[in-house]
Amino acid sequence: MTGPELKKLREHLGEAIGRNLTVADMAKLCGLPEQDGASTIRKWEVSGPSGPVAELLRILAMASDHYPILEMFNVFDRHDVAVKDRPARRQAFREQMLSDVLRRIG
């Protein structure tokens, strides 16, 4: 994930939850300490996060309709899920992800 992608993710997640996310919110989302978290996020908005944080953000991005549901989480397109039920299940999954985002930022 690049710095501009992180900025766009912040915008998209804010849109999904219905309010703008601050740099401090993003730090909480990533599990960073309150003291240095905001400055770390500002650095990442230039260089981009890496490692486990980048992977966490890829997962949390699924809360927004702007990002696809990752293959490892896609249990909706299987043969045992009726085609007519798939959109509702995808929406329920995104709502669950939104709930996780809101829980993380408090």
**Tens digits of residue pLDDT in 30-72:** 999 888 999 999 999 999 999 999 999 999 999 999 999 888 8
Mean pLDDT of all residues in the chain?
92
Counting DSSP H helices and E strands in the chain, the numbers are 5, 0
Answer yes or no: are the C-beta atoms of 28 and 104 closer than 8 Å. yes
Number of domains in the chain: 1
**In which domain, by residue range, is 49 found?**
3-105
